[in-house]
Chains A and B, each alone.
Chain A
Amino acid sequence: EPEVTQTPSHQVTQMGQEVILRCVPISNHLYFYWYRQILGQKVEFLVSFYNNEISEKSEIFDDQFSVERPDGSNFTLKIRSTKLEDSAMYFCASSEVETQYFGPGTRLLVL
């Protein structure tokens, strides 16, 4: 069964460093999303992406964040200068229309 994959599974970084989180969505899906979940809190929408551009973004998704689809398969989330409060689980999801399928997540720890 096709699935969304994410790498790395865990990332530890120093405050101020740039990180890139990678996702491979399900191949025939057209819509891509990033979410984050701070430990013990709810899943928060960051951004959606369709047709090679951002469709919608939340207040969390400020200038420190960017997304890219550098080739036909990968979908990346870049955090330019990480802050302590960026520590969270980051989930990628993709959908053909509306039903989203989530990847296993990348746990980011900013020290």
Chain B
Amino acid sequence: EDKVVQSPLSLVVHEGDTVTLNCSYEVTNFRSLLWYKQEKKAPTFLFMLTSSGIEKKSGRLSSILDKKELFSILNITATQTGDSAIYLCATSGTYKYIFGTGTRLKVLA
């Protein structure tokens, strides 16, 4: 059975800290891995990763994929209270996406 597992389930840090969120997967017909941020409602897209070892960056966020070990990490440096959200990892297969349960990040001022 296809699955996506995220860890930790929740995390509380202080502003300025650096966090690493983990996502491991076992899916058939893997095509890409996506990271989303979910605040109040709909997930918003952060990154799509298709190749191993190539880091994607957007401001203080970065992510990398390891297709051999079947995992990805999402790093957030110099965290801010606005980073508080649920971070979702999803894998895309043939026409099908599987989401992890998410990591709930709380950044304290």
- List A residues at the B interface (Cβ < 8 Å): 31, 33, 35, 41-45, 48, 50, 55-56, 58, 89, 91, 98-105
Contacts and interface: CB of A to CB of B under 8 A. Distances in A.
A54 to B, nearest CB: 9
Interface of B: 31-32, 34, 36, 41-45, 48, 88, 90, 92, 94-102
In this complex, which of A42, A55, A89 has the most chain B Cβ atoms within 10 angstroms of its Cβ? A42
23 contacts: A33-B97, A35-B99, A42-B88, A42-B99, A42-B100, A43-B99, A44-B99, A45-B98, A50-B95, A55-B94, A58-B96, A91-B42, A98-B34, A99-B34, A100-B45, A100-B97, A101-B45, A102-B43, A102-B44, A102-B45, A103-B42, A105-B41, A105-B42
The 8 nearest A-B residue pairs measured at CB: A55-B95, A56-B95, A102-B42, A43-B99, A48-B95, A56-B96, A42-B101, A99-B48
Given A55-B95, A56-B95, 5 more contacts: A31-B95, A43-B43, A48-B95, A91-B42, A98-B31
Contacts of A58: 96
